[in-house]
Amino acid sequence: MGLGSTAKKIQKVADIAEELYSKVNELKSQLQELRGTVEETNDRVDELDRELAEQRALLEAVAEEQGIDVATVQTDALIDDAEAATDTDADDTA
């Protein structure tokens, strides 16, 4: 009797261990996929940063050629954005 119940307990533990092993392998696979996705996203972001820098340089060159002060335009845009955010915050609290 004692050996039969011990064998059942050992089998139950073995079944649980096998299930956990399967889940760990599944999680490992998901983690590898996630890492790949993160790397691809990082590469895309880097490419977008490079393109944005190129576009910014072109716009600044065109603005300078047209006699537009880029720093003033940027400052005005920041002020407008800050005022719009303040107006939105005031509307949300009302």
Is position 84 within any domain? no
pLDDT at 94: 61
Domain hosting residue 14, numbered range: 2-67
Identify whether 72 is part of a domain: no
CA atoms within 13 A on the CB side of 53: 6
Do residues 70 and 64 touch, judged by C-beta distance below 8 A? yes
Residue with tokens 């845009």, as numbered in its chain: 77
Residue 15 within a domain: yes
pTM: 0.59
Asked whether residue 93 is domain-assigned, the answer is no
- Whether 53 maps to a domain, the answer reads yes
**Considering the domain boundaries, does residue 86 fall inside one?**
no
3-state secondary structure of 25: helix
User: Has residue 92 been placed in a domain?
Assistant: no
pLDDT at 3: 74
Q: What is the pLDDT along the chain (94 residues), one digit of tens a residue?
A: 567 788 899 999 999 999 999 999 999 999 999 999 999 999 999 999 999 999 999 999 999 999 999 999 999 999 999 999 887 777 776 6
Q: Is residue 46 part of a domain?
A: yes
Q: Number of folded domains in the chain?
A: 1
Q: Which residue has the tokens 């003033």?
A: 72
Q: How far apart are CA 65 and CA 59, in angstroms?
A: 10
pLDDT for 5: 87
